[in-house]
Amino acid sequence: MDPAVMLRDQPVPARGGPWKDICQLQVCEPRLREKMISGLSMELGNGRTIRFWEDSWLPHGTLKDKFPRLFSVSTLTGAVVGDCGFWDGLDWIWSFQWRRELFQWELDLAGQLHETLQSAKPTNEREDTMMQAEVFPAEITSYSFTRAIWKGFVPPRIELLSWFVLIGRVNTNDRLCRLHVLDQNDKLCVLCSKSEETVFHLFLGCDITWQVWCAWLHAFGRSWCPPGNLKDHFESWTNMAIWRVERKRWFLGFFAVV
């Protein structure tokens, strides 16, 4: 299961839309393609598609990077996980083959490799899968307010964008600079050109953005103090109304401004 091959072989859709733009980026920009690949990892299932040494299926990267010496003398380079061991009853036994006899210090490395694999074994109950390696922090996944987004008031793509805004996963200039997609000097906000374009600044802290929020509030005769973060902003905004119809109106207003 080679992510580079999977991404390279994906056809660019003939019709427009966000997915076409994403595919064109990963095809036309090698640096972005490598960034996409580095963000992928594999979850071990039956071990029939994940490459033992080359794929990222354990924490902290690939085994060839963690044990480069053993990788250089292994005869199983390119082999899938399922070919690197066998079942002995209900126990999975890891079995490796080397190009020559290992030196003593290499045997110590082999012992460390077995310790790394101690809790890992394939299962016949599911196939290998690919997933995004980045894991959201607990403070994000535990936010109860994210459930309030998926009300069906607006198209799913708008809900998804709003969710990304609230958890801070929008590709602002600041984030793209940290990912080395943009030059480190291109961090300024595209609206005001005064401050770094973070998620908070772009969608709430920017003077121009704040004027849009205030215009909506003024239309409903409300006054408001700027909240400290996007989470507080969303919760205070959507809790302004008690009645169901009015509450829906405030939800729609939030989505519209975002």
Output 24 or 224, whichever has higher pLDDT.
224
pLDDT of 137 strictly over 70:
no
Integer Cα distance of 13 and 6 in angstroms: 15
End-to-end CA distance of the chain: 38
Integer Cα distance of 255 and 166 in angstroms: 12
| Structure-token match 């909506």, residue found | 216
Average pLDDT over residues 167-175: 85
Give me the pLDDT at residue 70, please.
94
Integer Cα distance of 173 and 179 in angstroms: 10
pTM of the model: 0.46
Average pLDDT taken over every residue of the chain = 78
| pLDDT bucket at 33, cuts 50 / 70 / 90 | low
Highest mean pLDDT (candidates 30-34, 70-74, 230-234, 243-247): 70-74
| pLDDT bucket at 66, cuts 50 / 70 / 90 | very high
- Percent residues over pLDDT 70 in the chain: 76
What's the token pair of residue 17? 């839309």
Average pLDDT over residues 142-167: 77
Give me the pLDDT at residue 2, please.
52
Can you name the residues that pair with 98 across neighbouring β-strands? 74
Residue 94, number of CB atoms within 10 A of its CB: 16
Gyration radius of the chain's alpha carbons: 25
Output 214 or 140, whichever has higher pLDDT.
214
pLDDT of 209 strictly over 80:
yes
